[in-house]
Amino acid sequence: MNSYVIETVDLTKKYQDQFAVKQLNLHVPKGQIYGLLGRNGAGKTTTMKLLLGLVRPTGGKIHLFGEEHSRFPKQDYNRIGSMIEAPAFYENLTARENLQILARLRGQHRKDTVERALSVVGLQQEEKKQFRRFSVGMRQRLGLAAALMHEPELLILDEPMNGLDPIGIQDIRAYLLELCRNRGTTILISSHVLSEIEQLADRIGIMHKGSLLEETGLQELNQKSRRYVEFEVSDVNRAALLLEREFQISDYTVLEGRGLRIYEKLEQRAKVNQCFVAAGIVVDHISIYGEKLEAYVKSLIGGGGIG
Ligand code: ATP
């Protein structure tokens, strides 16, 4: 048994002759925020619907909380909160009334449950407005409140920031981070906006045309996509000393053998080279590598759509 809250093995969903999700192997660790990134039509929504049992897989397996999907106890769906596509509510009721009904259905009888959820998403002031008069952003906020209200262990949120204004995005981001860090909630969140995922996720899965192209920690991804200069020198230890002493460069790694990777002050590489040479260090090779995270992701999935 592992500590993945969600694990899929070759999960596949085919519509007619088209794969919406193709042999997906997803690993969402407990207590982390996992960002599913992909352009429109990449298969993010279908993946989430499969996880929630809203769509039947064509093939493959799903494990939730370590339990195979088919053996997952019905009452354990309470452990999950979700928001997929446009959430449905009673049109002629207010936000509070809608949540009160939901709380009653779920057997949540604590008085402050609804108020807390309303306050988290910033809807507590909307006393009178009926759902049918809600803006897109307000509908989204109410959907989130409904997903969060029972404080689930796992949250599955499909593009939750869509339609929110920048302040709303900040509020929700801060709340999701707080949920994860302080209460250990596991969160699977999808987006087609890289910067949103970048500011939130611990792990990231990049989907394209139904497949998972890469699954990695955000730090590793940043590292991979970071620009750096690599020097090949005759004496790495002395070279490293000079970097620190003469250039105050501390963000570097020493590779096995003769390699030295520098991640900061890249524009000073010519001066660094001169300094090494002046100190009697032989420099065999200098190269600049890497690219911005955005460019890296684009290189994986092709241009457009990710911003
Ligand atoms: P978006 O951000 O646009 O919602 P997505 O990454 O969530 O995109 P999906 O909605 O999962 O992508 O769609 C993946 C593919 O599967 C698309 O090509 C879509 O047209 C197709 N698809 C999804 N649902 C169905 C369905 N019920 N019948 C036929 N094809 C479908």
Give the closest residue (by CA) to ligand 1 atom 30. 15
For residue 31, pLDDT beyond 60: yes
Residue 285 contacts residue 232 (beta carbons within 8 Å): yes
What are the C-alpha distances in Å from 216 to residues 177, 210, 221, 303? Answer: 19, 17, 6, 21
SS3 per-residue string spanning the chain = CCCEEEEEEEEEEEECCEEEEEEECCEEECCCEEEEECCCCCCHHHHHHHHCCCCCCCEEEEEECCEEHHHCCHHHHHHEEEECCCCCCCCCCEHHHHHHHHHHHCCCCCCHHHHHHHHHCCCCCCCCCEHHHCCHHHHHHHHHHHHHCCCCCEEEEECCCCCCCHHHHHHHHHHHHHHHHHHCCEEEEEECCHHHHHCCCCEEEEEECCEEEEEEEHHHHHHHHCCEEEEEECCHHHHHHHHHHHHCCCCEEECCCCEEEECCCHHHHHHHHHHHHHCCCCEEEEEEECCCHHHHHHHHHCCCCCC
16 pLDDT above the threshold of 80: yes
> Ligand 1 centroid vs 40 CA: distance in angstroms?
8
CA distances from 31 to 1, 197, 202, 240, 274 (A): 16, 16, 10, 38, 48
- Residue 88: pLDDT over 70: yes
Nearest ligand 1 atom, CA 85 = 4
Phi, psi of 176 (to 5 degrees): -65, -40
Q: Which residue has the higher pLDDT, 158 or 126?
A: 158
pLDDT at 64 over 80: yes
Mean pLDDT across the chain, nearest whole number? 89
**Residue 13 near ligand 1, beta carbon < 6 Å:** no
205 lines ligand 1 (CB under 6 A): no
Separation of 299 CA from ligand 1 center, angstroms? 22
Residue 305: pLDDT over 70: no
The answer, yes or no, to whether residue 286 has pLDDT greater than 70, is yes
Residue 214 has pLDDT above 70, yes or no: yes
Whether pLDDT at 12 is above 90: yes
User: How much is the pLDDT for 2?
Assistant: 57
Find out whether the beta carbon of 84 lies less than 6 Å from any atom of ligand 1. no
Predicted confidence band of residue 195 (pLDDT cuts 50, 70, 90): confident
13, 21, 39, 44, best to mutate for ligand 1 pocket (most atoms within 8 Å of CB): 44
303 confidence band (pLDDT: 50, 70, 90): low
What atom of ligand 1 comes closest to residue 42's alpha carbon?
Answer: 6
43 lines ligand 1 (CB under 6 A): yes
Higher pLDDT, 168 or 210: 210
Q: What percent of the chain has pLDDT over 70?
A: 97
Strands 154-158, 80-83: parallel, antiparallel or unpaired by DSSP?
parallel
Please compute the mean of the pLDDT values over residues 151-176 and round it to a whole number.
89
pLDDT in tens, 150-160: 889 999 999 99
- pLDDT(211) > 60: yes
Question: Is the CB of residue 57 below 6 angstroms from any atom belonging to ligand 1?
Answer: no
For residue 84, pLDDT beyond 70: yes
Query: Tell me, what's the pLDDT at 136?
Result: 85
State the pLDDT at residue 250: 93
Out of 16, 45, 82, 84, mutate this one to test ligand 1's pocket (max ligand atoms within 8 Å of CB): namely 45
Q: What is the pTM of this model?
A: 0.79
Query: Which residue, by CA, sits nearest to atom 26 of ligand 1?
Result: 15
Question: What is the distance between the alpha carbons of residues 46 and 157, in angstroms, rounded to a whole number?
Answer: 12
Least-confidence region, from 114-118, 248-252, 302-306: 302-306
Average pLDDT on 276-295 reads 85
| Residue 163 vs residue 59, higher pLDDT | 59
Distance of alpha carbon 152 from alpha carbon 6, whole angstroms: 14
Which band of pLDDT confidence, cut at 50, 70 and 90, is reported for residue 307? very low
Query: Probe ligand 1: pick from 11, 12, 13, 15, max atoms within 8 Å of CB?
Result: 15
Q: Annotate 182-239 with three-state secondary structure.
A: HHCCEEEEEECCHHHHHCCCCEEEEEECCEEEEEEEHHHHHHHHCCEEEEEECCHHHH
